[in-house]
Copies of this chain bind each other. A is one copy, B any other.
């Protein structure tokens, strides 16, 4: 029997406990041994669960119990999750987590500790909920150099944008609906401002490039400024607006990493990823584009990914040498000023065509139903972020109503 402890009995944690209980026999077959959840750390009481007697409020009951081999961290947040996970590994326990903040901030350190202690630190559920993505990137694409990984990494913002695109709801109305349905928190900023997507692209970028990419290094822009006018212009030109996290390998060991709304062409597979679904495209040098798609959140999808990690650890011996990345200093992520993108602009004012050309180069003008005379919208060709910003500053007296990047 392999004893598992659970830290945190919230949405994901309670799902893990339920799956371990209800699927005990099929999991035994897959893991080669019984998986038994012997202790659950939570400050609350859950007298009505089938395993009410296994709760503890004291972390040390888990840390100092040598019979526990695998610990699931589903508390969320950086502290005390970080300290608890560290202690568990130092005492020879493998750890599975669904905590994206923990992996995005401390992944390199915790992976190194796992190697040192000959245990595992697995985190399939930290990106894409129940969608297999970490393990396929790490194991199935092992013969590839991963040059680019990008996608729709946050279900809440994708739900909001889908409502704006398909039902012409305003951002505020779509956000309120998402809150009513439980897809968005009361304080929706972590989703809406791109913080959650940023953590996930950091994890994917670190895995793809072998160097830790920290959230603070990543230019992150949310969706709260997107309007129905932007959505209409996008549609007129064959695009949909999506919140995209992207990481791209460029020259000299540098990488471009960014989270921002983007015009996605309808030919791109990501354009059809709607509602709360997530989709991640991985570009390998041998395989080309591979996409992973599914529900990116939710109790049971996420919990099932955690349990799959537990099963994998149960049947493995020693640490996974290959699931790892190095720590990094400030030079892994290139400066955003140098990224090259095409842009969509929506300006408040009729601007002379010669002026636009002199500032932005050749552009494609867009039109929409109900477009006021003093509104100008266009797509630029690829240009450096710094050049785009210079051009904006020269737009004397013209207000920029919208600016969104294009992706391929």
Contacts and interface: CB of A to CB of B under 8 A. Distances in A.
Interface in A32-90: 32
Contact of A294 (B19, B288, B312): B288
A303 interface: yes
Interface string A270-307: 01110000000000101111111111000011011101
A131 interface: yes
Most buried by B among A129, A290, A301: A290
Interface stretch (A106-114, A139-147, A169-177, A178-186): A139-147
A286 B305 CA distance: 9
Contact of A293 (B132, B293, B312): B293
A287 B129 CA distance: 8
A366 B289 CA distance: 37
Interface stretch (A314-322, A350-358, A379-387): A314-322
B130 A321 contact: no
Nearest to A305: B140
Given A136-B132, A139-B308, A140-B305, A292 B290 contact: yes
A131 B295 CA distance: 19
B141 A308 contact: yes
Contacts of A303: 143, 286
Q: How large is the interface on A (under 10, 10 to 19, 20 to 34, 35 or more residues)?
A: 35 or more
Interface stretch (A23-31, A97-105, A212-220, A336-344): A23-31
Nearest to A210: B29
B140 A135 contact: yes
Contacts of A191: none
Interface in A130-167: 130-132, 135-136, 139-145
Given A288-B295, A290-B294, A321-B315, A143 B19 contact: yes
5 contacts: A19-B143, A132-B140, A139-B139, A143-B304, A288-B294
Given A139-B308, A269-B293, 17 more contacts: A19-B286, A26-B145, A31-B322, A32-B321, A130-B290, A132-B132, A132-B136, A135-B135, A135-B136, A136-B136, A139-B312, A142-B307, A142-B308, A143-B303, A143-B311, A290-B293, A290-B294
